[in-house]
Structure 1
């Protein structure tokens, strides 16, 4: 592995922490599934489950999950529009997302 592609243990820890919560994973997977022409993800509408309390999810996203993802530069969060797009660090975490998704395919969803 070259110097340019080396990932520190601290970076891996951050990525695993980001993926440790289901709403954050759903958001990151939703971003992975979109093409650039589809635009940003609308939160919480694009990631809410069918029986999920939208108001509670929205509150939790705004105060916990979106700031954590934005601070890690994995997403760009437009607070005014309520949308999220891939941040500068998203492409670095994308291979880990693919691995997690492939585990989902093998083991089945956690619900």
Structure 2
């Protein structure tokens, strides 16, 4: 592989290493656009493995801060998303296509893991 390809692959792996970023991108991959409050709710629920109605205000606030100060800017730096905090709108950007296959592999792996962890009926 050449150096630019190596850097892109390393960046993709680094971006997808954090669960919150993967959860955020799973949701955006389905809808292509979202509002920050909806993403905060969904990411917090997945992160705590609870329903969206069971999220505490503290968890919601921690997730919001984490997304706004860490995950959203990092994804935007790599042209994976575009976001506007004033409006709360978040959309997929052109760079998403570069990481989409790897994201899909992560999602399949996590879904299989969830099935193995569920107790038998």
CA distance in 1, matches of 2:103, 2:70: 20
Which of 44, 51, 76 is the aligned partner of 1:48?
44
What secondary structure, in the 3-state scheme, does the structure 2 residue paired with 1:41 have? strand
TM-superposed CA distance for 1:100, in Å, is 0.9
Which of 10, 23, 27 is the aligned partner of 2:7?
10
Matched pairs, number: 100
TM-superposed CA distance for 1:46, in Å, is 4.0
What secondary structure, in the 3-state scheme, does the structure 1 residue paired with 2:79 have? coil
Alpha-carbon RMSD across the aligned residues, in angstroms, is 2.0
* Greater mean alpha carbon deviation, residues 21-30 or residues 45-54: 45-54
Q: Deviations over 1:79-108 (max 9, x none)?
A: 211221101101121111111111112222
Q: TM-score, length-normalised on structure 1?
A: 0.79
Bigger helix share:
2
Q: TM-score, length-normalised on structure 2?
A: 0.73
Greater Cα radius of gyration, structure 1 or 2: 2
Structure 2 gap segments, 5+ residues each: 46-51
